[in-house]
């Protein structure tokens, strides 16, 4: 029978285990880590708001970006970009720069009340619609979850992205992410830059997974035929049309018989020139509607109106960038 351990023996043993834990953590991450007993002795956070991603081994589970090649490449490209400057925000004495317009082709859509599908909120085409999807072996409850988690991963690192595990409702994602980014003083300019430069590509990627993995939703998307897909949300004139559903219906009546040219190809440089983009419905750019029309064409490439790069991505689903 062994001699009963004293409280001092237990404490020494615990300290020894803590030291071993820290040594193992430091060897893995080369960053100082702390055991649970040290939680009140952590150093004060630095002014550097970005936490570098932890390149951990892939573990099966929910919402981990360590093995998501698309999200990783998205973050690396974001980090390599020059400092953000607002559109039309020229500095004093700066000369305007001519931006070469990439080659773009367009698909013609007729405007009429019978040829327009409006969506917002919890419509099946909305990012807020609950639709389970798997990206790089990890599950996401909706496009909004993946979209907002990518934002956290790009701007705050993998540890912050994992905080999305606690958010179950798509409608709560945006406010949860806003609070997390505010808690680390993430620069608003950096967030705005991400929304303009990286978000459209992420929405293409996520919606391909959503409709490829949910046959019922894909059938509903294909049943829209050649209808103009319009995101009718009055508080967003970039990804929506800057109008509510009632105003959008009136717009379709006022423009009945006219046609609208919608981009055929997803060219990132083209979509980043937001000030030069025309309105693709109502008063806004309707980028989410445009992206969904591109995704719809990718599921029927035999018609010759699809972007072949999106078709290839759909066929491989390997998360490569365009």
Instruction: Convert the pLDDT of each residue in 57-84 to its tens digit.
Output: 333 344 455 456 566 565 555 554 444 3
Instruction: Convert the pLDDT of each residue in 10-55 to its tens digit.
Output: 556 566 666 666 665 554 444 433 333 333 333 333 333 333 332 2
- The average pLDDT across 273-282 equals 79
Instruction: Convert the pLDDT of each residue in 161-208 to its tens digit.
Output: 888 888 999 999 999 999 999 988 999 999 999 999 999 999 999 999
Name the domain count of the chain: 1
Cβ of 299: how many Cβ atoms within 10 Å?
16
Q: What's the maximum distance between 2 C-alpha atoms anywhere in the chain?
A: 93
Q: Is residue 217 part of a domain?
A: yes
* Rounded CA separation 11/123 (Å): 57
Q: Is residue 76 part of a domain?
A: no
* pLDDT score at 42: 34
Dihedral of CA atoms 142, 144, 149, 150 in degrees, nearest 10, equals 110
Cβ of 78: how many Cβ atoms within 10 Å?
16
Q: Is residue 99 part of a domain?
A: no
Task: Check which CATH number belongs to the domain holding 250 and give it.
Answer: 1.10.357.40
Q: Is residue 237 part of a domain?
A: yes
Q: Is residue 28 part of a domain?
A: no
The pairing of beta strand 138-142 with beta strand 61-62 = parallel
Mean confidence (pLDDT) of the chain: 76
Q: Is residue 69 part of a domain?
A: no
Q: Is residue 63 part of a domain?
A: no
Whole-prediction pTM? 0.71
**More confidently predicted of 71 and 246:** 246
Q: Is residue 52 part of a domain?
A: no
Range of the domain at 209: 107-316
| Inter-axis angle of helices 199-213 and 69-80, nearest 10 | 170
């Amino acid at each position: 029978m062994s001699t009963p351990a004293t409280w001092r023996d237990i404490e020494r043993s615990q300290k020894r285990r803590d030291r071993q834990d820290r040594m193992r953590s430091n060897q893995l991450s080369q960053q100082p880590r702390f055991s649970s007993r040290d939680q009140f002795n952590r150093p004060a956070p630095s002014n550097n708001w970005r936490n570098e991603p932890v390149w951990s081994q892939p573990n099966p589970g929910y919402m981990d970006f360590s093995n998501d090649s698309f999200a990783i490449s998205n973050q690396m490209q974001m980090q390599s970009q020059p400092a953000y400057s607002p559109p039309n925000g020229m500095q004093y004495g700066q000369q305007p720069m001519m931006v070469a317009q990439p080659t773009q082709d367009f698909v013609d859509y007729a405007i009429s009340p019978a040829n327009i599908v409006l969506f917002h909120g919890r419509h099946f085409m909305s990012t807020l619609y609950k639709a389970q999807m798997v990206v790089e072996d990890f599950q996401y409850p909706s496009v909004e979850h993946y979209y907002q988690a990518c934002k956290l991963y790009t701007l705050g690192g993998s540890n912050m992205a994992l905080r999305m595990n606690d958010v179950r409702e798509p409608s709560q994602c945006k406010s949860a992410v806003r609070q997390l980014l505010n808690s680390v003083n993430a620069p608003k300019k950096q967030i705005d830059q991400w929304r303009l430069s990286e978000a459209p590509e992420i929405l293409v990627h996520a919606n391909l997974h959503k409709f490829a993995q949910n046959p019922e939703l894909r059938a509903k998307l294909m049943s829209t035929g050649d209808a103009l897909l319009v995101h009718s949300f009055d508080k967003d004139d970039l990804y929506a049309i800057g109008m509510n559903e009632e105003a959008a219906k009136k717009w379709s009546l006022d423009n009945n018989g006219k046609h609208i040219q919608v981009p055929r190809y997803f060219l990132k440089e083209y979509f980043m020139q937001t000030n030069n983009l025309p309105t693709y419905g109502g008063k806004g750019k309707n980028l989410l509607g445009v992206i969904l029309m591109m995704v719809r064409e990718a599921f029927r490439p035999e018609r010759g109106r699809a972007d072949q790069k999106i078709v290839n991505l759909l066929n491989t689903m390997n998360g490569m960038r365009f």
